[in-house]
Amino acid sequence: MNKPLWSARDTAAANADFKDIKRWTSRHFGAIQAATYTQTIIESLQDLCEGPQVPGCKLRDDIGPDIYTLHVARKGRPGRHFLLFRADSAQHQIDILRILYDGMDLQRHLTQH
């Protein structure tokens, strides 16, 4: 029997983070690197359709209930950002709350959620 796929949706904050990351990367490293890094983030988001048990996901109850992180540096691809998300196991729903630089205080940037 196949595992059910999860659906993922972005919050406005996560969308803003994604746009800011693309813009910043393009400005500092060029359009080609921005496109490459954008694809790295997109692939991490797509991996979440397997649910919060996808390799690399970490439950972060220290930040909040049902909050997980997934670093975008996966499968040999470099990256410096985390996907912060909430997983609803009953609904097989993942809400992408933020996409944050891995040097940030994650809890501080998640206080509004």
- Pairwise CA distance, residues 10 & 16, whole Å: 10
What is the predicted pLDDT for the residue at 105?
Answer: 67
pLDDT at 102: 77
Per-residue confidence (pLDDT) for residue 92, from 0 to 100: 92
Q: Could you list the pLDDT tens digit for every one of the 113 residues in the chain?
A: 466 689 999 999 999 999 999 999 999 999 999 999 999 999 999 999 899 999 999 999 888 889 999 999 988 888 999 999 999 988 999 999 999 987 666 666 665 44
pLDDT, residue 78, reads 87
CA dist 78 and 49 (Å) reads: 21
Partners of 84 in beta bridges: 69, 98
- The pLDDT of residue 35 is 96
pLDDT of residue 74: 83
Three-class secondary structure of residue 103 per DSSP:
coil
Give the domain 7-102 fold.
Answer: YaeB-like fold (3.30.2310)
Q: How far apart are CA 54 and CA 12, in angstroms?
A: 24
Domain assignments of the chain as residue spans, ordered by start? 7-102
pLDDT value of residue 113: 46
Q: 10 Å Cβ neighbour count for 96?
A: 22
Amino acid 63: pLDDT:
86
Query: What pLDDT is recorded for position 75?
Result: 82
